Amino acid sequence: MSLLEIKDLHAGIDGNEILKGINLKIGPGEIHAIMGRNGSGKTTTANIIMGHPDFEVEKGDVLLEGESLLELEAWERARKGVFLSFQYPQAVPGLQVGNFLRKSVASIRGEGEAKGSGFREGLTAAMEALDIPRSFMSRYVNDGFSGGEKKRFEILQLMLLRPRLAVLDETDSGLDIDGIRTVSEGVNAAIRGTESGALIITHYSRILEHVQPDVVHVLLDGKIVSSGGPELATKLEEKGYEWLKQ
Amino acid sequence: MEENSDARVAVGEYKAGWHDPEESTIRFDFGLSEEVVREISSLKNEPQWMTEVRVKAFKHFSERKMPTWGNMSMLEEIDFDKICYYLRSSESTEKDWEDVPEDIRNTFERLGIPEAEQKWLSGVTAQYESEAVYHSIREDLESQGVIFLDMDSGLREYPDLVKKWFCSVVPYSDNKFSALNTAVWSGGSFIYVPEGVHVEMPVQAYFRINAKNMGQFERTLIIADKGSSIHYVEGCTAPTYSTDSLHSAVVELIALPGSHIRYSTIQNWSANVYNLVTKRGIAHENAKIEWVDGNIGSKLTMKYPAVILKGEGSHAEVISVAYSGAGQHQDAGAKIHHLASNTTSKILSKSISKNGGRGSYRGMVTVSPKADNCKLNVVCDALILDEGSRSDTYPTMEVANPTARCEHEASVSKVSDEQLFYLMSRGHSEEESLAMIVNGFFEPFTRELPMEYAVELNQLMALEMEGSIG
């Protein structure tokens, strides 16, 4: 059974159809990438999978391990194992990073996982892997974070929440080369060698050099127009998107 | 049961809304007159001077007009003839919870007071209607000369100290409600901390109104002698009734040179209580007064904790939060007067309004011409949770000395859908997510509270957020 299956998905916002019939299957342990230009429907795809209330699904289905997600609220999807690394993570002044992580782990993985030395050790290891200093814990969630800090924090959450399916929306944007490498290592650690899967949404092939995708899809005007191996990303980098239009 | 369904809706899951059967030993008829005032005084066997102050205050109250600002239409609804001005439910103030009448003891147990006392307090006074029913202080503090009594006992045992300071910070003629309180006051706390003594753990007063149409008028006087320090914490709740009750307290703080008084309040009256309180302190040389003031409950609160910075180098802080739900108006803020040089002050006000509630920040900071090199910092933030809720800001700064450094910031924000979606994507329900945002907004306040209170406040706010998602 597929980990994630998207079937003939038509969806949009405020009555505008953005996705015009998407089909996609991700198996356990696989990493897929969706590439496309601005406005092609990449972020809409991410929002639909996570359950953003502003987006409407007109037709089709999104299934996690055979079960439709569409009737579930975002928090219910999160508890079933869906994770979204946001393009623009939101600041919550006054909410401490440490408390927030503990509460999120408790909600998604269970109270027992958010307590004791197991939690602390996992947290310390993930922070070291991502080059996040200890002082980060007492800051407020995304409040005053630099672009790079926000992205690292998203991946820290990915590593701690251990989702079945991770969707990464433009995680590489706003990161320098070192940042991309660090974040990519985090993604690899969270997904590779597990039964989980990931969908990486990106403009550029840079992150895909560090997180080798099994399949690359090209999204153009709300449809997947081409799918292939990692070489497709390289080709897009060289030739752009125009050639796919024919 | 007299609980009114509208009031229930208004306060959401108000957890302290039960009431005991009314068993009073003395209950006055509704209404106020000079006779009532004299009777309260004679019942308490007070010295002549106090009776006279009460009567003068009563006359002033009768003549004084209602404030012409704040929520005037709500103020006009107060019917002073339908309030009970004195109600005694227990014969005496006990030192052992076992001796407190069972109903009353159960109420305080449900509110968690005896438990808190054992764990982390230096002393407790519990007031039920007009009188303190329980009072206790740790022996080591008593042996260091710390006086912590209910106000009536304070007047009996230390008449000279009380006479010296009573009305010295808040004259009865200050406003209509300070006059009312001075005329009919009963209960409250009297505290004296001797020179150089530091009371490490907080002392707490808890005020409970049980009867319908009750007026509670406690009077608190705290004197911190040179170089001493104390943290006083007060909490309050009342049953939910369909008719209104009135709580009108006066609190006077005297911080003598080099002393430190911190006064923390979590006001959680039910949504049928008018809460019209005058709180003011005088800070002498290098003294520090802090008001930490949380207003969650009540129908209308009008309260502006004040500090008069009288001595050089003194410091004032007023940190407050206000939550206004359906039918509620929290008109709160701060007043600080810089009368001496090198004085500093900080005001932080945070208000949340929801379900049509109204929050107002009303603040005044003045610097007198003679006060050089003063520093003032005012920050007020409002968070509005839905359409139809309201937030207003009425800041006043009168700075008559050019060397003053003033900072003022104000912000009004709304909870965004994107913020909620972000938190929900981490497994938190919409209500939990909203509570996280709200508690985060209040965090600069809660971190000033003792841990136990901070936890309680967060839980209280989580309850207020329940059922708020339509």
State the ipTM, two decimals: 0.97
Within 8 A of B421 by CB-CB distance, chain A residues are 50, 52-53, 74, 90
The answer to whether A205 and A235 have CB atoms below 8 angstroms apart is no
Q: E-assigned strands of chain A?
A: 4-13, 16-26, 31-35, 55-64, 67-68, 82-85, 165-169, 197-202, 215-220, 223-228
d(CA B326, CA B271): 9
The parent domain of residue A10 ranges over 4-245
Three-state secondary structure call for residue B420: helix
Q: State yes or no: pLDDT of A182 exceeds 70.
A: yes
Chain A positions touching B443 (Cβ under 8 A) are 93-96, 140
Do A62 and A26 meet the contact criterion of CB atoms below 8 Å apart? no
Q: In the A/B pair of chains, how many CB contacts fall below 8 A?
A: 82
CB B372 within 8 A of CB B339: no
CB contact under 8 A, A95 and B426: no
Please state, rounded to an integer, the average pLDDT across all residues of chain A: 94
Question: B419 and A90 in contact by Cβ < 8 A?
Answer: yes
Q: Is B270 helix (H, G, I), strand (E, B) or coil?
A: coil
Amino acid of residue A35 = M
Interface of B with A (CB under 8 A): 416-419, 421-430, 432-433, 436-437, 439-444
Q: Are strands A82-85 and B405-414 parallel, antiparallel or unpaired?
A: unpaired
- pLDDT tens per residue across all 470 residues of chain B: 333 334 334 344 677 888 888 887 888 888 999 999 999 999 999 999 999 999 999 999 999 999 999 899 999 999 999 999 999 988 888 999 999 998 899 989 988 889 888 888 888 999 999 989 998 988 889 999 999 999 999 999 999 999 999 999 999 999 999 999 999 999 999 999 999 999 999 999 999 998 889 999 999 999 999 999 999 999 988 888 888 999 999 999 999 999 999 999 989 999 899 999 999 999 999 999 999 999 999 999 999 999 999 999 999 999 999 999 999 999 999 999 999 999 999 999 999 999 999 999 999 999 999 999 999 999 999 999 988 999 999 999 999 999 999 999 999 999 989 999 999 999 999 999 999 999 999 998 888 888 777 877 887 777 777 755 54
Task: Please indicate if any CB of chain B lies within 8 Å of the CB of A93.
Answer: yes
Mind telling me how many Å the CA of B420 is from chain A's nearest CA? 9
Is A104 within 8 Å of chain B by CB? yes
Subunit contact B437:A100, Cβ cutoff 8 A? no
Answer yes or no: do A78 and B424 touch at CB < 8 A. yes
CA B156 to chain centre: 25
The count of structural domains within chain A is 1
Among the partner-chain residues B418, B429, B440, the one whose CB lies closest to the CB of A95 is B440
User: Which of chain B's residues have a Cβ under 8 Å away from the Cβ of A79?
Assistant: 427
Is residue B287 within 8 Å of B254, Cβ to Cβ?
A: no
- Distance CA(A218)–CA(A133), nearest Å, equals 37
Q: Express each pLDDT in A103-132 by its tens digit.
A: 999 999 999 999 889 899 999 999 999 999
Q: Residue B112's pLDDT is what?
A: 87
pLDDT of A246 reads 62
Contact A19/A47 with Cβ under 8 angstroms?
Answer: no
Contacts of B411 (CB under 8 A, 6+ apart): B380, B381, B382
Other Cβ atoms closer than 10 A to B450: 18
Q: In chain A, positions 144-163, which contact chain B (CB-CB < 8 Å)?
A: 157, 161
Alpha-carbon gap: A232 to the closest alpha carbon of chain B (Å): 31
- CATH number, position A130: 3.40.50.300
